[in-house]
Structure 1
Amino acid sequence: MKSTTRGTIAAVITGVAAAMGAAATPAAAVGTVPVPVPLEGAEQSLGMELPKLGGEIPLPTPGKPDGPRYVEGRLIPEHVLPQLPVTGGLPGAGLRAPLPHVLGDQFDHVGVATPASDLRTLAPGLNLDAPLSPPSPATGLPEPKLPEVGVLAPVLQTVPGANLGLGPGL
């Protein structure tokens, strides 16, 4: 292969990789959407300093469910209705309010923040088995048995947090 052909192929591959990376970066970078609460107009009309208020709304993203698993001795696979994983987060909020030197000259504001925290969930799933056993080696026919039905419980995992602070400036 000529060196110009190799250089062209390397340039094309580099360009495609850069384009795919640029396209994937904004979607991966956005985990929450900020929601500011504009109070500047009210501050100017009232002539006083108002609290700064804002929030974050997380974007849920569905995952890939585990498919049915075939198990020896069962006619119907396990996890007939698989659990769907969804990741997202709990919404966050932030509030910074002016504090008129109640606790001394160094404390000008009080702030409360609850950052958006990760949330992982699994939707409920279903397991069931037919009312027949697998064929027996002796007769070659299945035998009747009681049907089995099981519900896979939903899962919810998160670790929420909050911050309270006092400090100078708003």
Structure 2
Amino acid sequence: MKPTTRGTLAAVVTGVAAAVGAAASPAVAADTVPVPVPLNGAEKSLGMELPEIGAELPLPKPGSPEGPRYVEGRLVPDRAVPQLPVRGGLPGADVRAPLPRLLGHDFDHVGVHAPASDLRTLGPGLAVDAPLTPPNPDNYGLPGLKPPQAGVVTPVLQTVPGAELGTGPGL
């Protein structure tokens, strides 16, 4: 391959990599994706005020699992199939609906704001042990028999959701 062809190819590959990296960085940096619900057309065709609705969808981010733990007296490490952590969130919502002065002259809308909240999960894991004991010096170095052990490590789900309900002037 000629040096000019090699240089041109390197410049093209560098340009494509830079363009792909620039296009992917905004999506990777965002924790949630806003989802507006457009009701303007229905509002104009019906000739009345409709609620304003918006939502936030969180992006799940997988983490790295903890490796197996070696326990004394067991042939197979503890948690042979590790739990996979995933960070994400619960979806959020923002709804504001018109209220035709039912509560007085200062109240024109009712709104619910439920922001997206963090969510931490761990998938189920598996803990097994072989039906053999470690080598026993009293038995000429041969392992003994024991009942096999198998267990499922339960999944974990942690979050703290919240919401606000309010009324006020204007929509």
Q: TM-score range by the shorter chain?
A: 0.7 to 0.9
Identify the residue that residue 149 of structure 2 maps to in structure 1.
148
Q: What's 2:116 paired with?
A: 116
Q: 1:116-170: CA deviations, max 9, x gaps?
A: 1111111110111111100012311111111111110111111111110001111
Q: Name the Cα RMSD after superposition.
A: 1.7
- 2:44 and 2:27 mapped to 1: Cα distance? 37
Aligned to 1:42: 42
Tell me, which stretches of 5 or more residues in structure 2 are unaligned?
Answer: 1-21
Deviation, structure 1 residue 100: 1.5
Inter-partner Cα distance in structure 1 for 2:103 and 2:29: 40
In 2, Cα distance between equivalents of 1:29 and 1:144: 54
Residue 88 of structure 1 is matched in structure 2 by 88
Name structure 1 gaps, 5 residues minimum: 1-21
1:54 aligns to what SS in structure 2? strand
CA deviation after TM superposition for structure 1 residue 32, in Å: 1.0
Q: 1:141 is aligned with what amino acid?
A: L
Instruction: Give the counterpart letter for 1:162 in structure 2.
Output: A
1:13-61, CA deviations, whole angstroms, 9 ceiling, x for partnerless residues? Answer: xxxxxxxxx8997355411111111011111122221110111111111
| Partner Cα separation in structure 2 for residue 73 and residue 24 of structure 1 | 48
Quick one: which amino acid aligns to residue 163 of structure 2?
Answer: A
| Structure 2 length-normalised TM | 0.81
CA distance in 2, matches of 1:143, 1:50: 74
In structure 2, the residue matched to 1:161 is 162
Secondary structure in structure 1 of the residue aligned to 2:41: helix
- 1:136 maps to what in 2? 136
Shift of 1:74: 1.1
Deviation at 1:66, TM superposition (A): 0.5
Alpha-carbon separation, structure 2, partners of 1:95 and 1:34: 13
Match of 1:64 in 2: 64
Residues 69 and 24 (structure 1 numbering): CA distance in 2 closer, same or farther, change over 3 Å? farther
| Equivalence for 1:99 | 99
User: What is the distance in 1 between the residues matched to 2:31 and 2:40?
Assistant: 27
Size of the aligned set, in residue pairs, is 149
TM-score normalised by length of structure 1: 0.81
Distance 2:155 2:134 in 1: 30
Q: Which amino acid aligns with 2:156?
A: V
What residue identity is the alignment partner of 2:47?
A: G
